[in-house]
Structure 1
Amino acid sequence: MRILQVCAEIYPLLKTGGLADVAGALPAALSACGAEPRVLLPGFAPILADLHDAVELARLTPPAGLEAADARLLRGRLPACGVDAYVIDAPAFYLRAGGPYADAQQHAYPDNHRRFALLGWTAGKLAQGLDGGWRPQVVHAHDWHAALAPAYLRAAHDAGVRGLPASVYTVHNLAYQGLFDSHHFAELGLPPSFFSMHGLEFHGRINFMKAGLYYADRITTVSPGYAREIQTAEQGCGLDGVLRQRTHDLTGILNGVDESVWNPALDALLPAHYSAEQLEGKARCKASLQQELGLAATQASPLFCVVSRLTDQKGLHLILQALPELIARGAQFALLGSGDAALEAAFRAAADADPAHVAVRIGYDEAFAHRLIAGSDVILVPSRFEPCGLTQLYGLKYGTLPLVRRVGGLGDTVSDSRLETLDEDATGFVFDDFSAAGLLGAARRALALYRRPADWKSVQQRAMRHPSGWRDAADQYLALYRQIAA
C-alpha cells in the first residue's frame, strides 16, 4: 500500500516536539509491515541538507496567494530517516534565520498560513498524480501544519477529479490549531463555500485544524484516552462539537517508541548499557550523571527527572511546589527543558539554591536527554493534559519509572504501583488530582518503593518489558488505511 505522510518536521533532522518522533518512526514501521510510505515535507534547511539523489519533480504553480519565488518540488531520499521523500524547495518560505514556525524571539511568522497551506496544496497535487511514477492510495496528514491537505483533496473531488486517494488526519495536540484572520482565506485558493461553519470557519477566523477534522475521511489521535477526552468541553479546545459529530470516524492509536533510537541495551549515547535482565549498567549511568551534574554521588537518593517543554500544559508548576518536600525526603532532581521564561527562572533559582540536590539545564540536547533518562530513577510527567506523551514511554523502556497524572496517553501507558498491584501490572506511579498534593502522594509511594530494592527492581523490570514498539501501531494504521482505501 502506498501512503503519503504529510508533516512539518521529522526526527532526527528537525524536531520541536513529539510530532517529529512519530513522523520519523512511523514510515519505518509501515515499511516493516510491507507498506510503501513516502513523506512530504517543507524544505527547511536540515531537511534539504539530508536530501540525497534529489531530482526536480515539478515547478510549483499554486494559487496566487501561495506563490513563492522559484518554488519547486524535489524527490529524493532522506538517509537519516530511512525514507523516500518529497521536499518543497521554496527558500522564501522555509529558509529563515529562526525556527520552523517562529523567529528567534518566538514570534510566529505572519505568513504561516501561506507557508503551510502550500504544504497541504502540494499534497493535493501529489494525490492527483503529480509524480507519474508513484501515486498514493492514502494521504496521511499530521497536525495543523498539514491539515489543509484533506481540504484540497475535497476541493478536487468537488471539482470532478476522480480516483483520488483516501485521507487520514492525525491530531497530535488539539491545543495548537493554526488560527488565522479571515481575510487570509482568499489566499488559500479554496472554494468560497469552504469558509463556513461546515468547513474552516471558527468564530470568524480560519482554523487549519478544523479543516483536517472536517474534511478527512478518518481522524486518528495518539492515544485511546485522548480520543475520548477531546470529545469533551474540558479538553476539546472549542472543537469538541466537531469531534463528537465524527465520533464514529475517530480512532485513538497509541504512539510507540523507535527502538532503534531508544534502547538502553544498544544506546551509543549512554556511558553503560543495560537491560531488564542485566540492570547493573543503570547504576553506572546514574553515577556518571550525578558526576556530570554536580549532584551528590549516592545511589541511596532516588533521582527524579524531567525532560519537557516548559509550558503550562506540562504541570511543571506542581513540581516546583512539590520540590522542597521531595528534597527533604532525600530525593534529587534534574531537569532538561526550555520554554516559559518564568518557569525557566524558577527552576534555575531552585538549582542555584541547592546545587547538591537540584540540577537544571535550559535548552534541548538530544544526547543529554538519553543520559538523563537512563541515569534517573523516576521521570515526572504531571501534565494538565497529554495526548500521548513519549517521555513516559522512554522512561518505561529505560527502567526509569514514570510518575504521571492519569490523563490522555499517560493513563493508557502507566499502571500505578500500590501494594495490591506490585505483583500484577505495576509499572510506575499515577495520580489523579491536578495539584501538588496529588503529585506528592504519588511521589511518596515512589520513595517508599525505592527503599525496598527487591520490589523496586521487580516493577522496573516489568516496566522495561512493557510492549512499547511501533509494530502494533503500524498494524492498526495499516488496517485503517486498507479500510478507507477500499
Structure 2
Amino acid sequence: MEQSLSSSPTSPTPPGLRVLVASSEAHPLIKTGGLADVAASLPAALRQLGCDARLIMPGYPRAMRQLRAAQPVCELQMPGCRVAVRILAGLHPDHDLPIYLVDAPESFTREGNPYTDLSGRDWGDNAERFLLFCRVVALLAQGLPALKWQPDVLHGNDWQTGLAPALLQETPQRPATVFTIHNLAYQGLFDRATYDRIGLPAALWTLSGLEFHQRLSFIKGGIVFSDRVNTVSPTYAAEVRTPRFGCGLDGLLRQIGGRFSGILNGIDYDVWNPASDPLIAHHYDRDQFALKADNKIDLQRDFGLPRNEDAFVIGYIGRLVEQKGVDLILAILPEVLRDPRIQVMIVAAGERPIEQALREFAAQYPRQMGVFIGYDEVRAHRIEAGCDVFLMPSRFEPCGLNQIYSLRYGTVPIVHRTGGLADTVVNSTPETLAQGRATGFLVDELQPQALLATIWQALRLYREEPDGWRRLATTGMAQDFSWEASARQYLRLYADASAERHNRLHAASA
C-alpha cells in the first residue's frame, strides 16, 4: 500500500495540537475563491498560536511548481489508480507552513480551474478525482509511517473533502474531525450510477449516510460523519438552518444541533495592508488617508480611464453568478453611469452572457467604466486601494472576504444584509455616524432601486460631507478582522471535536 521514498522535510514546528487541514485549493498555489485564502491563512495562524498545523491539497501543476523545498516522501497504491500516487512534502511559498501535495497526474495534472474544463463545464470525473483525494486524506489522518506524523484533528473544507470523515468513521485510531462549510450551495452531487461506479461502501448509501434525494452528496458526508461542523460566519450558520438558505440540508443542520456553529473568517493583514502592500504604488494608513487618492489615479490609468481625483469610483471583484447579485449591478449601471463623475471598475469572471454585457457597457461608456474579465491578484489589490466604494449585493454570502479587505483599505462597502456581510459591516445611519461606529452601507431589500438608493446615499455623503466620509472610511480601517481571533475560536472547536471523539469511543467500548 505504502512505499517510503524519503523522510519528510523538517522545519521547526511548535509543540502542541497537530492539525491536518484539507482543502482543494490554497493561495497562491491555486485559487478560485475565498476558500483558497482561508486554507492558506488559517493553518499559518494556528502555527502562530503553537499548533503543528499542516495543509494537504491536490497536486495541481501550478501547486507543484510553487511548493518550496519539495521532495517525495512515499507512494501509495490507491483503488482505481493505474499508477502509484506520490505524496510530496514541502513548504508554502511565502511562509513555513508544511504542505503535502497529492501527486496523481491522471486526476490533477490539468492546467487551469481545479473543477471545470476550459469551457466552464465540470470535469466529468470530479467524483473520482475528489474521492481519490479524500482517500489519501483519510490515510494521512491515520498516520502514514513515512511521514512520522499523525494529526490529532482532521479539518476538512467544503464538498471536495467531505468523504474523508465518512471513510474514517469505523477507524478506531482516527483523529477528531472538523468540517467547515464555506458555501452550502456547492454540495458535490452525483447520481447513483456514479456512486456504484466509484466503489464506495454500499452501507453508506442511506438517508443517514451519503444519500441525498437519490444522489450521492459529498458535503453530506462531511456534515453527518464529522465530530464538529461549522460555517464561516454566525449569521450564515443561522440562515442555513432555514429552508430559504439551507439548499435542502437545513433539516440536517438543525438535527445535528450543538455540533454545528459559525466562526467568522479572518484575513491576513500581512497580505492585505495598505501601509505595506507591495502590489499598490502608494502606501497609506488611517493617519495618511489622503494618500489613498494617488491609488485612484493609478487605477484609472490601469483601466484606461481619464484621470480624475474627484470621481466617485465604484469597484467590484468576484464571480459573475446570480448568488453575487450581479444582475442587480447590471440593472442599475445605466442610471449610475448617467453621472459623468462616476466611474465603475470591475474584475470578474463567470457566466458568459454577464461577461458580454459588462464588455458592452465598457464599450458604451469608455470614459467611465473599466472591465477585466478573469481574476488578477494585482488588479484586485489595486481596486481595493483605488476605489471609493465596493459593491457586494450578494443574495447570500457565507462570510465574504472582499468587504473585509475593503474595510482595511478605506474603501467603503455597500453590501446586502446577509451572512458574513451583516456580521462585518456596521450600517451608516445618522446615529452610527455620530457615534463613530458606522463602517459601510447595508441594503435590506434586494431590488435594483434599493441598491441604487444606497449608492446615492453614499454619494451624497462623499460629495457633501468629506469629513464625515473620511471618518466612515477610517473607522472601517480600524476594525480588527485578523486571523488570530478566528484561529482561537477554531482551537476551541477542535477541543470540542476531540471531546466528542472521546465520548464516542467511550460509548462504543462501554
TM-score range, shorter-chain basis? over 0.9
| 8 Å contact from structure 1 (residues 50, 80) kept in 2 | no
Secondary structure of the 1:421 match is helix
Q: Give the equivalent residue in structure 2 for 1:127.
A: 141
- The one of 479, 484, 495 equivalent to 1:482 is 495
Cα offset for 1:328?
A: 2.8
| 8 Å contact from structure 2 (residues 295, 382) kept in 1 | yes
Q: Give the equivalent residue in structure 2 for 1:141.
A: 156
Secondary structure of the 2:98 match is strand
Q: Give the equivalent residue in structure 2 for 1:395.
A: 406
- The one of 418, 428, 436 equivalent to 1:417 is 428
Q: Give the equivalent residue in structure 1 for 2:27.
A: 11
Q: Which amino acid aligns with 1:354?
A: Y
Mapping for residues 423-434 of structure 1, pairs under 5 Å: 423-424=434-435, 425-434=437-446
**Given the superposition, is the C-alpha separation of residues 98 and 307 from structure 1 closer, same or farther in structure 2, using an over 3 Å criterion?**
closer
**Given the superposition, is the C-alpha separation of residues 128 and 267 from structure 1 closer, same or farther in structure 2, using an over 3 Å criterion?**
same
Number of corresponding residues: 479
| 8 Å contact from structure 1 (residues 303, 333) kept in 2 | yes
Q: Give the equivalent residue in structure 2 for 1:272.
A: 282
Distance 2:448 2:306 in 1: 25
**Given the superposition, is the C-alpha separation of residues 273 and 218 from structure 1 closer, same or farther in structure 2, using an over 3 Å criterion?**
same
Q: Which amino acid aligns with 2:481?
A: S
| 8 Å contact from structure 1 (residues 4, 136) kept in 2 | yes
| 8 Å contact from structure 2 (residues 62, 111) kept in 1 | no
Q: Give the equivalent residue in structure 2 for 1:107.
A: 121
Q: Give the equivalent residue in structure 2 for 1:464.
A: 477
Secondary structure of the 1:328 match is coil
Is 1:153–2:168 an aligned residue pair?
Answer: yes
Mapping for residues 281-360 of structure 1, pairs under 5 Å: 281-329=291-339, 330-360=341-371
Cα offset for 1:59?
A: 2.1
Cα offset for 1:440?
A: 1.2
| 8 Å contact from structure 2 (residues 78, 84) kept in 1 | no
Which range moved further: 334-343 or 54-63?
A: 54-63
Secondary structure of the 1:476 match is helix
Distance 1:314 1:79 in 2: 31
- Deviation readout 1:289-332 (Å, 9 max, x if unpaired): 12222323223221011011111111011111112222234421
Percent of matched pairs sharing the same residue: 44
Secondary structure of the 2:287 match is coil
| 8 Å contact from structure 2 (residues 77, 83) kept in 1 | no
Q: Give the equivalent residue in structure 2 for 1:84.
A: 98
Gaps of 5+ in 1: none
Cα offset for 1:96?
A: 1.8
**Given the superposition, is the C-alpha separation of residues 289 and 143 from structure 1 closer, same or farther in structure 2, using an over 3 Å criterion?**
same
Is 1:23–2:35 an aligned residue pair?
Answer: no
Q: Which amino acid aligns with 1:75?
A: A
| 8 Å contact from structure 1 (residues 11, 81) kept in 2 | no
Q: Which amino acid aligns with 1:42?
A: P
Q: Give the equivalent residue in structure 1 for 2:50.
A: 34
Q: Which amino acid aligns with 1:141?
A: G
Q: Give the equivalent residue in structure 2 for 1:449.
A: 461
Is 1:259–2:275 an aligned residue pair?
Answer: no
Cα offset for 1:68?
A: 4.5
Q: Give the equivalent residue in structure 2 for 1:165.
A: 175
| 8 Å contact from structure 1 (residues 114, 187) kept in 2 | no
| 8 Å contact from structure 1 (residues 141, 168) kept in 2 | yes
Q: Give the equivalent residue in structure 1 for 2:251.
A: 241
Distance 1:142 1:72 in 2: 22
| 8 Å contact from structure 1 (residues 24, 81) kept in 2 | no
Gaps of 5+ in 2: 1-16, 500-510
Distance 2:95 2:362 in 1: 37
Cα offset for 1:404?
A: 0.3
Mapping for residues 199-238 of structure 1, pairs under 5 Å: 199-238=209-248
- Deviation readout 1:69-102 (Å, 9 max, x if unpaired): 2312222223335311221111111102442111
Distance 2:191 2:336 in 1: 46
Distance 1:48 1:393 in 2: 30
Which range moved further: 50-59 or 253-262?
A: 50-59
Distance 2:477 2:124 in 1: 45
| 8 Å contact from structure 2 (residues 410, 477) kept in 1 | yes
| 8 Å contact from structure 1 (residues 97, 104) kept in 2 | no
- Deviation readout 1:27-86 (Å, 9 max, x if unpaired): 1110111111011111101111123343433322233xx324231222222333531122
TM-score, reference length from structure 1: 0.96
Is 1:196–2:206 an aligned residue pair?
Answer: yes
Q: Which amino acid aligns with 1:119?
A: F
Distance 1:440 1:354 in 2: 18
Q: Which amino acid aligns with 1:429?
A: F
| 8 Å contact from structure 1 (residues 13, 80) kept in 2 | no
| 8 Å contact from structure 2 (residues 77, 84) kept in 1 | no
- Deviation readout 1:257-301 (Å, 9 max, x if unpaired): 111110000001111000011113201001121222232322322
Q: Which amino acid aligns with 1:77?
A: L
**Given the superposition, is the C-alpha separation of residues 83 and 274 from structure 1 closer, same or farther in structure 2, using an over 3 Å criterion?**
same
Cα offset for 1:188?
A: 4.5
